[in-house]
Amino acid sequence: MNANIQGSGFSFERAALVLRNRIMEEAPSLGIGLAVVVGVNALTFLASRTFVFNHDNGAMWAFAIVISGLLLCAQAFKAMHDGKAGTDWLLLPASPLEKFTAAVLDYVIIFPVAAALVATGLSALFHVIEQAAGKIPGPIWTFWNVEVLKAWAFYAVAATVFIAGSASFRKIPFLKTSAMAMAYIFVLGILLTLGAWIVVRSHGNIDAGFHFENFNFETEDIPKSIEDITLWVGRIAWFVVLPVFSLVYGYFRVFEKEARDEVQ
């Protein structure tokens, strides 16, 4: 590595090199995933002359990207926990912060954007093939619309959680992180419901529910100000507290693991 990037402090160049290595290592797995998507669509085209991913309002494209991304996030620091691979990870000429930053950029931004571009290209190709086959083609899926951007916002939050889970759990990180995330949502829902009941109990019975960033009331007796407050508390808890905590916690888990391994 060049002497000008071996100094102390955070180096964007070192982080970029780690990021490049990540992408190269993931390429075979991503190629297999892409082959599976193409294969599934090819089978449905042979059976019905339609590509299934183009005929569900784009939901299957988005679902495939989100699930693939979260599975990758859950394996983000697999090498750090493994025997010989852990030694190779420790010897990478980059700081824990640079390695962690590379993982976050990879899974929160680069992967979903690249996957969405590929999905749009495949969707356009499938559209043309269906049209040539004499079928009414499904719409071309694109990611430059409000609904997809909202989906990415939820994905980005979930990605930070699964990255932190990968840094924390050596075995079955996807399942363990999923369980922890569900527990967070459940506890937050109970706290918000209890808080709303305490504040507005004089207004009669309430039926409230927390759905990710939304807190919904099933009664007209709740003051609008209380609804707004709980709505924003839910949004802040989901889009600010959870990702910030996940990023900070995940980084310190990586830092702690490297510090412990270096001592050994």
Can you give the pLDDT at residue 86?
55
Can you give the pLDDT at residue 261?
67
Per the structure, how many domains does the chain have?
1
Residue 262: band (very low, low, confident or very high) from pLDDT cuts 50, 70, 90: low
Residue 196: band (very low, low, confident or very high) from pLDDT cuts 50, 70, 90: low
When pLDDT is averaged across residues 131-150 and rounded to a whole number, the result is 87
Q: Which amino acid is at 194?
A: L
Is residue 225 within 8 Å of 232, Cβ to Cβ?
A: no
Query: Residue 264: is its pLDDT beyond 90?
Result: no
The string of pLDDT tens digits covering residues 10-42 is 888 888 999 998 999 889 989 999 999 999 999
Is residue 56 within 8 Å of 141, Cβ to Cβ?
A: no
Helices (H), the chain: 12-48, 59-74, 78-81, 83-91, 96-104, 111-132, 146-168, 173-200, 224-236, 242-263
Q: How far apart are CA 233 and CA 52, in angstroms?
A: 39
Q: How far apart are CA 147 and CA 149, in angstroms?
A: 5
The H or E element spanning position 208 is strand 208-211
Residue 2: band (very low, low, confident or very high) from pLDDT cuts 50, 70, 90: very low
Q: How far apart are CA 116 and CA 129, in angstroms?
A: 20
Beta bridge partners of residue 208, listed in sequence order: 217
The mean predicted confidence, pLDDT, of the chain is: 83
Q: What percentage of the chain reaches a pLDDT higher than 90?
A: 45
Task: Give the residue, 243 or 216, on which the prediction is more confident.
Answer: 243
Q: Which domain does 208 fall in, by range?
A: 3-263
- Least-confidence region, from 99-108, 112-121, 164-173, 230-239: 230-239
Is residue 118 within 8 Å of 30, Cβ to Cβ?
A: no
Of 43, 48, 44, 46, which is closest to residue 135 (Cα–Cα)? 48
CA 3: distance to chain centroid? 35
Beta bridge partners of residue 216, listed in sequence order: 209
